[in-house]
Amino acid sequence: MDVLKVGIREFRSQLPHYLLEAGQPVVITRHGEIIGYYIPSRDKEPRADLASLEAAAAKLDVMLKAAQIDTEEVVAEFSAKRRKK
């Protein structure tokens, strides 16, 4: 896995990018000396997750229309079952 090396000022100024989108470990330096590491816990970007969910929703819409199922009826049935619990 590649490691990205950045200075503390850049890391601090671009913190949201490194925390949410970097996707690779970051070595943080100060005056050329390593002072810390950031290892992200996510494997992929949130945008990729959102795109996957949008694709799944589009497929679900097609399936519901093909089966002639009204989404409002599904929501109403789900709500009714939740209230019973």
Whether the pLDDT of residue 1 is over 60: the answer is no
Structure tokens belonging to residue 10: 């850049």
Structure tokens belonging to residue 44: 């992929």
Domain coverage including residue 28: 4-38
Residues 61 and 34 in one domain: no
Residues 79 and 54 in one domain: yes
Residues 54 and 31 in one domain: no
Residues 33 and 55 in one domain: no
Domain count, the chain: 2
- Please give the pLDDT value at position 31: 95
- Please give the pLDDT value at position 84: 82
Instruction: Report the half-sphere exposure of 20 (CA within 13 A, side-chain side).
Output: 8
Q: Mean pLDDT over all residues of the chain?
A: 85
6-10, 22-26, 44-48: the lowest-pLDDT one:
44-48
β-sheet bridge partners, residue 6: 28
Residues 34 and 50 in one domain: no
d(CA 53, CA 75): 19
What is the residue type of 25? P
Residues 51 and 77 in one domain: yes
- Please give the pLDDT value at position 42: 65
4: left (phi over 0), alpha (psi -120 to 50) or beta: beta
Whether the pLDDT of residue 44 is over 80: the answer is no
